[in-house]
Structures are given as C-alpha cells and as structure tokens.
Amino acid sequence: MIKTLEDMIRRFCAYGLELKYSAGFTRDWCTLIPALELAYKTSIHASTGKTPAMLEKGWIPKLSVYPLKKDLVDIHPASLSFELLLVKLRHHVNQSINDAFEYAKQKWDKSNKTPEFKVGALILVSTLSFNNIDGPKRLEDSFEGPFIIKGLHGTNEVQVEQSGELENKHPDFPVTLGKNYTSSDGQLFPLRNETPLEVPPLDQSKEKKLPRV
C-alpha cells in the first residue's frame, strides 16, 4: 500500500502541475497536495469497500464538483478561474489515483498467481511461518511436504493432513503459502529415487572376539 501511495504522489508531481488565476496568482503542485489527500481519502478501496475517511473518522468530506451556481448572472473572473482550477485539479488527481492503483494491480497479478487446489491432491507448504522445525533456520527447506489436502475453506485457505514434527501445527494455511506438488521423473532424475538401505547381517555369536596382537 505504501508503494501505491508513493506512486500516486509521484504521478501527481511528475508533470510539474501549475495552475494560474486570471488575476495573476499561481499555484504549483506543492500547494495543491491537500487536494490529492482529499481525493484519496474519499475514494472507495476495493479491499474494504469503504473510503479511508469513513474508516478513520466515520464521515466523508464532500466538495461540490461545480462550486459556482449556474443561475448566477455576474461572476467575478477570479471566481470563474478558481472553479476551472478545481475542475482541472480534480481530473488530474483522479487520473493519478487510478493510474497508481492500476499499476499496482498489474504488478501484483503478474507476480502473484494463486494456484488452483483440489481435495485429495498433494501440496507443498512454505516454511516461511514455521518456527517449530529443528536445526538452523538458514538450512531449512523453503517448502515442506508433500501433504494431502483434506479440505478447502473458500478460495483463500486450505486444510492439509500433517505428520511428524509438524503434527502439532495448525493444519490450515493460506493458499499463497502453498504450491502444487509435482513428482520427479525417475528416468530423467535417477538419483532422486529413494533406494532402500541394505543392513549388513549381524554376528549371531555372543562371544566377543578380541583382536589378535
């Protein structure tokens, strides 16, 4: 979210926005940043479905799109130029916010693709949040498993069957911490096959043989 805010401010300030009144006054992007803050606080976020102003203060500040009444006969030139400034500023602010959110969404969708899981399939679980695995943390595997998927809690969570040292860990994990398990090809990777250990036969005699001197 912080990167999105940085990108939004960068887009707002990058074009050197400068608005001039008819009376000769000039406003640059430094003095117009409160308009960007107001537009951001009154925009609805897709994650919460509400505006930041509503979540923070419980009310939404409103600003009329056209501050001047249309039935006025005589309008001062300074007031008219100020209205044009607000309209132009509102358009620029909304464009900066929409571009920043769209860019963040494209970056997220490109690098975070949610895998599709099915009940009964094998899955590998990331050890990013594991704190009960013995040994040095630097030598831990990035993923543990495979585990069998017991159930799905909507599209955001999976329940797996665990055993061993992970038996006491909570079986529910977010789908972002899992990935589908693909078994290795024995012909392409013969060394990955598990070979049974050959245990040498033990001496049946109970007499202890001493070495010859």
User: What does the domain layout of the chain look like in residue ranges?
Assistant: 2-111, 122-184
pTM, 2 dp = 0.48
Kind plus residue range of the DSSP H or E element containing 90 = helix 77-111
pLDDT surpassing 50 at residue 198 = no
Q: Which residue has the tokens 């000769």?
A: 24
Measured distance CA(193)–CA(186) in Å, rounded:
6
Higher-scoring residue by pLDDT: 142, 186: 142
Q: Say yes or no to pLDDT of 10 above 80.
A: yes
Distance between CA 86 and CA 22 in Å, rounded?
14
Higher pLDDT: 102 or 135? It is 102
Q: Which pLDDT tens digit goes with each residue over 18-72?
A: 666 666 666 666 777 888 888 888 888 777 788 888 888 787 777 665 555 666 6
Structure tokens at 16: 């050197």
Q: Which of 147-151, 175-179, 182-186, 204-208 has the lowest mean pLDDT?
A: 204-208
Tens of pLDDT along 162-172? 776 677 778 88
| Distance (Å, whole) CA 55 – CA 44 | 11
Radius of gyration of the chain (CA): 32
pLDDT of 202: 46
Sign of the C-alpha dihedral computed for residues 27, 91, 103 and 35 taken in this order: positive
